[in-house]
Amino acid sequence: MGKFTVIIEKGGDRIRLRTVPAQSLSFVIELFAYERVNDFYVNKNENSILVSKSKKKIILDILKEICKNKQNSADGDVIELECSGG
């Protein structure tokens, strides 16, 4: 099982998810597909996923199964999650 970081950035009406390393993004995409989150957009140029802000709680609930928050709060403009999987 590999370790990776998910970075969630708020902006406008969407949130952007990136992974470090970038190759872990495909694992997150598969996880969302498995959990039937079907309204996200993959931006291959930026190695990121765009999701409607209204789905933030659903996304965080899914990710909390494999991740822990590096900060104490999930309310900032940037959230970093330490994850394992893939």
pTM of the model: 0.84
HSE, CB side, 13 Å, CA atoms: give it for residue 64: 8
SS (H, E, C) the chain: CEEEEEEEEEECCEEEEEEECHHHHHHHHHHHHHCCCCCEEEECCCCEEEEEHHHHHHHHHHHCCCEEECCCCCCCCEEEEEEEEC
The predicted structure's pLDDT at residue 5: 94
Q: Give me the average pLDDT of each 10-residue run along the chain (86 residues).
A: 88 90 93 87 91 89 88 71 86
